[in-house]
């Protein structure tokens, strides 16, 4: 792999920024300063230092992000803060993206990665990956509402929603687990039973659970165990 690509992938900056780093002689390959951005390195064997600090090559990175309200699940946006605006420069590898979307006003668990195959697996409609949401609703649910939500109901799509699981926490607070990811699905399901979502937070996606220690706007790398369970 080219040295400049390696540096970009390891969060050292944009292509032009890393070219500058190399030109300034701040990058060493196996202890020898290298001033050629197109120098070919063996990313798994060569030791690359920037300003004396060794970079460890990891092809894929996985971050658990606690999305705050007001941020959009995109990589670029002209008006709003995106999820990537919360990732520190040194962690912001090329090609990071959020796995799936949460609405701008929805909070909670969002996986951010550059592993397209894992994203595909988690988002594939055929895989039915369960996602659990904490939902504050406008009015209590009747037993008939719960039955309709759990059996699957018409939200204006070609087919009814797949069976879901409702757990009542308080009169107007529920946990709802769905195994699809239709646009505004939770809000539309609640609307379909004449209710309204007042607050929505995703707590889990497949085996991955939102770390309670992460405040809104914070992220952390997944543990090896979490990655193994997801993949």
CB nearer to ligand URA: pick between 15 and 184: 184
103 is catalytic: yes
- Taken in order 191, 196, 202, 203, the sign of the CA dihedral is negative
Tell me how far, at minimum, the Cβ of 139 lies from ligand URA, in Å: 17
CB nearer to ligand URA: pick between 61 and 164: 164
CB nearer to ligand URA: pick between 61 and 186: 186
CB nearer to ligand URA: pick between 113 and 185: 185
Tell me how far, at minimum, the Cβ of 149 lies from ligand URA, in Å: 13
Tell me how far, at minimum, the Cβ of 123 lies from ligand URA, in Å: 13
CB nearer to ligand URA: pick between 47 and 198: 198
Quick one: tokens of 164?
């879901």
Tell me how far, at minimum, the Cβ of 131 lies from ligand URA, in Å: 7
108: nearest Cα among 74, 132, 144, 141: 132
Neighbours of 170 (CB within 10 A): 9
Tell me how far, at minimum, the Cβ of 185 lies from ligand URA, in Å: 4
Q: Which of 77, 85, 103, 211 is catalytic?
A: 103
* Residue numbers at the binding site for ligand URA (CB under 6 A): 102-103, 106, 184-187, 200
65: nearest Cα among 81, 48, 40, 87: 87
> What CA–CA distance (Å, rounded) separates 12 from 93?
8
The per-residue DSSP string of 138-191 comes to SSPPPHHHHHHHHH---SSSSSPPPP-EEEEEETTEEEEEES---TTHHHHHHH
Cα–Cα distance list, 49 to 12, 24, 57 (Å):
11, 13, 11
Residues 6+ apart with CB under 8 A from 53: none
As annotated, the active-site residues are 103
């Amino acid at each position: 792999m080219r040295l400049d690509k390696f540096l970009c992938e390891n969060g050292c900056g944009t292509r032009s920024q890393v070219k500058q780093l190399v030109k300034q002689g701040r990058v060493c390959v196996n202890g020898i300063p290298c001033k050629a951005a197109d120098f070919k390195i063996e990313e798994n064997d060569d030791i690359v230092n920037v300003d004396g600090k060794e970079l460890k090559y990891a092809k894929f990175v996985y971050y658990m992000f606690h999305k705050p309200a007001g941020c959009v699940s995109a990589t670029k946006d002209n008006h709003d803060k995106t999820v990537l605006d919360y990732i520190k420069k040194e962690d912001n590898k090329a090609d990071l993206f959020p796995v799936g979307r949460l609405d701008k006003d929805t909070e909670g668990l969002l996986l951010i990665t550059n592993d397209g195959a894992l994203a595909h697996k988690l988002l594939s409609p055929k895989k039915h990956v369960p996602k659990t949401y904490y939902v504050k609703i406008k009015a209590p649910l009747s037993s008939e509402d719960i039955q309709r939500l759990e059996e699957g109901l018409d939200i204006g799509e070609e087919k009814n929603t797949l069976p879901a699981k409702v757990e009542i926490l308080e009169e107007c607070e529920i946990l709802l687990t769905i195994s699809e990811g239709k646009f505004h699905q939770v809000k539309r399901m609640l609307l379909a039973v004449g209710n309204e979502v007042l607050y929505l937070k995703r707590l889990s996606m497949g085996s991955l659970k939102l770390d309670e220690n992460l405040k809104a706007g914070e992220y952390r790398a997944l543990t090896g165990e979490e990655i193994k369970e997801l993949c």
